[in-house]
Amino acid sequence: MRTFTHDGTVRMVWTAAMVARVYLDLGMAAMLFVKEYFGDKNRGYGQQIVEVFHKLRVRKFKDPYGPAKEQFEGTGSYGNGAAMRTAPIALFCHKNYEELLDTARKCAELTHTHKQGYNGAILQVRQKGEEA
């Protein structure tokens, strides 16, 4: 029995994407998130992210940011989920500050397109990057 939440699941998926270097292909990264969700829906995912995953799958990942941008009447989510998955970004990108910030924002915007959502991820990764 796996005893972790959706935040841990998404962090593990993002880590695997970074190891395989598929995080550079955001459609593929989104596909990995969706595959994991549909493989085990009982991790405590919120309804908003479930809607994003459904739309990504139906649209065949053509616009990885589209469904997240549509949330909350077009303002996007500003929740903490994007910041929860930044640890692997700091590990993989700590030597290149611009790549660190860019990767954090791109990863965040797959699910959190409100400026508070992606900036929270950027702040987290900056802190972790400085610690590395």
* Average pLDDT rounded to a whole number, residues 75-98: 89
The residue type of 9 is T
pTM of this prediction? 0.85
Q: Does residue 1 surpass a pLDDT of 60?
A: no
Q: Which residues contribute to the annotated binding site for Mg(2+)?
A: 5, 7
Considering only residues 56 and 28, tell me which one the structure prediction assigns the higher pLDDT: 56
Q: How many CB atoms lie within 10 A of CB 3?
A: 5
Q: Which residues contribute to the annotated binding site?
A: 5, 7
Query: What is the full DSSP assignment across 61-81?
Result: TSSTTHHHHHHHHHT---SSH
Where are the domains positioned within the chain?
6-131
- Residue 127: predicted pLDDT: 83
- CA distances to 40, 61, 98, 114 from 105, rounded to whole Å, are 26, 18, 11, 11
Percent helix, strand, coil in the chain (nearest 5)? Answer: 70, 0, 30
Q: What is the CATH number of domain 6-131?
A: 1.10.4080.10
Q: What is the pLDDT of residues 11-50, one digit of tens each?
A: 888 888 888 887 778 888 899 999 999 998 888 888 999 9
